[in-house]
Amino acid sequence: MSNTNEEGWTEGMSDFYITFDDVWSRMFVMSLGTAMPDDIVKSNFFSFIKDRCMETRGYLFASEDDMISLFPQFLNKIIIGEDI
């Protein structure tokens, strides 16, 4: 991988993490008006989103709306063990 590709990949990952952090905070603090869950829940949700991106797109990208719409699927998966 050339330096340019590596820099682009690193920048893309950074943007993805920033977007995820913004969405995570907004979902709980601003939308629900509650405290955020433990960091392990955040980490598991992040992994869930990454897996979904790779399954559906083949690369790591999700808009804010994508991330928010995946949260109910994440809850279903961890609570009842299935995807809807």
Domain ranges in the chain are 3-80
Tell me the per-residue pLDDT of 4-35, one tens digit each, with 9 for 90 and over: 544 544 556 788 889 999 999 999 988 888 89
What's the pTM value of the predicted model, to 2 decimals?
A: 0.78
pLDDT for 1 equals 47
Q: For residues 18 and 3, give the distance between their C-alpha atoms in angstroms, rounded to a whole number.
A: 22
Tell me the per-residue pLDDT of 24-69, one tens digit each, with 9 for 90 and over: 999 998 888 889 899 999 999 999 999 998 888 888 888 999 999 9
Token code pair at residue 19: 């977007």
The burial class, CB within 10 Å (0-12 / 13-18 / 19+), for 50 is middle
Q: For residues 78 and 41, give the distance between their C-alpha atoms in angstroms, rounded to a whole number.
A: 10
